[in-house]
Structure 1
Amino acid sequence: MGQLDALPALPPNWPTFVPKDKLAAWLEGYAEYMEINVWTDTTFDGGEYDEATGTWTADLTRADGTRRTIRCPHLVLATGGSSGVPNRPDLPGLADFHGEVLHSSEFGSGTSYAGKRAIVFGTGNSGHDVAQDLHANGSAQVTIIQRSPTCVVSLVPSGTMVYALYSEGPSNDDIDLITAAIPYPVLRDTYQWLTKRTCALDKDLLDRLHAVGFETDYEPDGTGFHMKYLRKGGGYYINVGCSDLIADGEIALRHARNIDRFQPDGLRFSDGSVVEADVVVLATGYDNLQEGVRRLLGDKVAERVGPIWGFDDHGAMRNMWMRTAQPGFWVMGGSLIDARLYSTFLAVQIKAELDGLFPKELPI
């Protein structure tokens, strides 16, 4: 990470992989030093758009219970690339299971499950991280359930190669513009070349995973993990150790297609075998960001905006960093790299609308 995800005035000597607490402290200090008016511990209770006046009314509740109503011409949803609405699949017999069931968003630490038997559904980043944390904190048995083939790359060197340009000398501002200007066909060709390279570098790890039955997928066009991120927002794992635990049998692997149903003491498979468990963690992702809009602003606005993230027919990200079909509503998501570049583009568009310079209809 380091300079890759740098904000203005970030110390130049930061480590490549910044600990979460260090980043959180920096953001808190950044808001103070730059005198940014940030309201933490504030709940968004709902909002409505007045077509006649072109104004949003947003209802907020502060931590002390104070209610505030804000009226503004523009509303920006900046909750990241996920809706925050957990996807909870309807698994057969899950209601009969007598143990604890939680979504990965509710998982805090594996220390609470020391000595217990755990089943983790899902083999994306969250599923692997939860399984590894359970194993590291002494769970008696950890089984990970693969629902679909998963793209796996090593953190170093493969996972960082996609960002190699940021360490080659030019400023972040220049590189941001270069990468944002890459046409979709060129981007696809680049990722195809890169994926061939990463698969060669990770061959030993992938062979070990395949040997225990783990199934991998690098997109039908061979564009790999970063294109999965751009197209779907998930479906990959950047290995920081869990793949090795699976390959070595430290974490057991089973496949969802072989499931029969849950029973009170665990999960039964079609061959009659049972994996006993005390806890089940659903690392099954989140609904599309459109559902986050629905939860905050209702069905009318959500349907008007439509699906968010992934490429549209023109090779641009759908409803992200651009005008949406809902007047005065914008979506700001993605990683810190995306935020550094596209927040400027989004702000310029809002400024243009406020000054009456933005055309009512944009050319296709």
Structure 2
Amino acid sequence: MELDVWLQATLVPGSEYHPESGSRTVDVQLPGRDPGEETTTLRLRPRYLVLATGLNGAPQWPTNISNLDDYSGEVVHSSRLKSAQEWHGKRAVIVGACDSAHDIAAELYQNGAAEVTMVQRSRTFVMSSQHGIPALLEGLYEEGGMDTEDADLIFTSLPINILEVMHTKIQEKIAKLDQDLLQSLENVGFKLDPYPAGMLIKYFRQGGGYYIDVGCSELIASKKIKIKQGQEVTRLTEQGLQFEDGEEIHTDVIVFTTGYRFIGETISSLISEQVAKRLGPVWGKDNQGEIPGTWRLCGQPGLWLMCGNFFQARCFSKHVATQILLQELNIYDKNWPGRVKDKVCVNRS
């Protein structure tokens, strides 16, 4: 496609929007071609800036835990954990109980960690991949099914409020198929979130809070992975963690799977704090039941946010490109996301 792609480029903070020209100044630093060569700073003046850095910002660390420096072992955020092999024969505690926590706990166990404990502070929605994925994608994304482009169009054409009604029925079916799995988790004290509309809608509304089981639930149910439930960590001790109920767990490594900060912090560091403060809501639910702030106007002229997974990037990159084209054609109503002044046909080619 002959696209300009700059690798190892750095966006210089401080991009400014100029309302008189409708453009924005963007400074980009490029490394030298040869070792020792100085970096080059280029000033661009685009009309549109698309940030495709994802929904999340920097790693989120708990703020209510004291005495972090007292601990003699290793503390790491899930985003920085490279391999579980180095913890063979060691004790590990994972703080958190959603997708990342389960994947890391299972990998630690499979790589021979002496003891693995998962700290579940609140309830978790659990769905098996065996039953849940086929039920959610049936008729759209399956072997021998329709073309992916057609499936994308059908799926994304439905308002999320309607999807929520449909998926509530689907989730009833999935919960019945997963009944034995869910009961086995409850039997060992793992607290389940019975989110009625299921995993996909929970992702649309909250961006997380679930686990799609690919094997870790069985390790928990069989007590190969221990659960510490319903208690916050209050402080770190020299040998481990102390909880609200006074219990102390000794461990060699603590992994915090506590998520990430709001995208506003990314915008603050890449563009400016002023733009981040003026940013409207991103993700969740607007007054029409749709996801606000991403793939459409975010409250800042000339700025577009691309959030979500690969599926959403595939689908909604077309939406963003079309909206930018409509602005270039001067037929986009900037006062209402998604509405145009007159009917228009955009050639998809």
- Does the alignment reach a TM-score above 0.5? yes
Question: Root-mean-square deviation (CA), in Å?
Answer: 1.9
Which residue does 2:11 correspond to in 1?
44
Cα distance between partner residues in 2 of 1:212 and 1:263: 27
Is the aligned partner of 1:78 residue 2:34?
Answer: no
Shift of the 70–143 alpha-carbon distance from structure 1 to 2, 3 Å rule, reads same
Report if aligned partners of 2:50, 2:305 keep a CA contact under 8 Å in 1: yes
Q: Find 2:168's aligned residue among 167, 189, 192.
A: 192
Which shows bigger deviation, 57-66 or 108-117? 57-66
Q: Does the 8 Å contact 2:161/2:290 carry over to 1?
A: no
Cα distance 1:160–1:288, how it changes in 2: closer, same or farther (>3 A)? Answer: farther
* Residue 342 of structure 2: aligned partner: none
Counterpart of 2:282?
308
Which residue matches 1:58? 26
SS in 1 for 2:76: strand
User: Normalised by the size of structure 1, how large is the TM-score?
Assistant: 0.85
Are 2:64 and 1:88 equivalent residues in the alignment? no
Q: State the structure with more CA Rg.
A: 2
For residues 337 and 270 of structure 1, the distance between their equivalents in structure 2, rounded to whole angstroms, comes to: 41
In the superposition, relative to structure 1, how do residues 92 and 200 fare at CA in structure 2: closer, same or farther (>3 Å)?
A: farther
Q: Output the CA distance in 1 between the equivalents of 2:266 and 2:245.
A: 39
SS class of match (2:75): strand
1:328 equivalent to 2:296? Answer no
> What amino acid maps onto 1:116 in structure 2?
K
SS of corresponding position for 1:73: coil
TM (norm. structure 2) is: 0.88
Alignment partner of 1:123 is 2:80: no
CA deviations on 1:213-245 (whole Å, 9 max, x unpaired) are 0011132xx112111110111000011111111
Instruction: After superposing the two structures, state which structure 1 stretch, 224-233 or 109-118, moved more.
Output: 109-118
Alignment match, 2:251: 277
Matches of 2:207 and 2:104 in 1, distance apart?
18
Q: Per the alignment, do residues 314 and 113 of structure 1 end up closer, same or farther by CA in structure 2, a change over 3 Å counting?
A: same
> By how many angstroms is 1:259 displaced?
4.2
Cα contact 2:231–2:245 (8 A) shared by 1: no
Report the Cα distance in structure 1 between the residues aligned to 2:42 and 2:89, rounded to whole angstroms.
47
Instruction: Give yes or no for contact 1:126–1:283 (8 Å, CA) kept in 2.
Output: yes
| Structure 2 residue corresponding to 1:166, chosen from 132, 136, 141 | 141
Q: For 1:311, what is the secondary structure of its paired residue?
A: coil
User: How many residue pairs were aligned?
Assistant: 328
Gaps of 5+ in 1: 1-33
Matching of residue 289 in structure 1 with residue 285 in structure 2: no
| Structure 1 position 350 matched with structure 2 position 324 | yes
Q: 1:79 to 1:218 in 2, by over 3 A?
A: farther
Identity %: 38
